Amino acid sequence: MSTERSAGIRIVQAVHGRREAVADPSYQVALAEELKQSYGAAGLVELYGRFIVGDGFVDLLMRKAIWQSVAKSCGCGLQVGSGAGFKHPETFEIGNSVFIGAQAYIQGRYDGRCVIGDNVWIGPQAFLDARDLVIEEFVGWGPGAKILGSSHTGIPVDVPIIRTDLEIKPVRIGAWADIGTNATILPGVTIGQGALVGAGAVVLSDVEPFAVVAGVPAKFLRWRTDCSPAPAKP
């Protein structure tokens, strides 16, 4: 519902993250448990393929139940859009009321760790390299935005680069941060609490809490509260 109009600009009330987490219905909890008992991890991934596309009640229910069954842990209120995929979901720790948009992809690693906090919103077609990733609560992740958590060393130079060792670096996204559409976060970067990353930005280095950055490479623009120095870290 619109609360204000001015010169064609509307302010509307946000929906995601404003509601208290509500427990999933008992039949969904029972289904997730039954799936976990009846299928191994490989079986659940195969089963997921049958329901990955489609927006009907059964498809939505099965996607939620399978994510809950195969993840290391998963809270209530999960929403998973059509075409959303994963790799090594057994390493995922998902909080309450998490939204994962259509065609988003989260790529874990068998020995990795992926933590997604409560009330995180991940837009459609996002890509998360989640080999060592922590996203804290109430983060907004724009459509098409990406995390790269690893890169090849490129050493030695006399072999194809894809044959060189892979260097994995942790990526940390602080609570309340907002990552713009099609932005890219590079390996080893920490985004501070409440920071804003502009659309299409490429972030090469850490971003301070409550800073606003944009551009390629991303540069500091201002503090969100228009004060200097930055607000004290919580």
Q: 16 catalytic, yes or no?
A: no
C-alpha span between 138 and 116 (Å, rounded): 10
C-alpha to C-alpha distance for 102 and 187, rounded to whole angstroms? 24
For 38, 47, 49, 194, 221, the CA distances from 137, given in Å and listed in that order, are 32, 29, 29, 11, 24
Q: How many Cβ atoms from other residues are within 10 Å of residue 200's Cβ?
A: 17
φ, ψ dihedrals at 97, nearest 5°: 55, 45
| Catalytic residue (choose from 19, 50, 152, 222) | 152
Q: Would you give the distance in Å from CA 39 to the centre of its chain? A: 26
Q: How many CA atoms, within 13 angstroms, populate the side-chain half-sphere of residue 191?
A: 37
DSSP string, 30-87: HHHHHHHHHS-HHHHHHHHTTTSS--SHHHHHHHHHHHHHHSSEE-SS-EE-TT-EEE
Question: How many angstroms from the chain centroid is the CA of residue 59?
Answer: 21
Residue 184 three-state SS: strand
Catalytic residues: 152
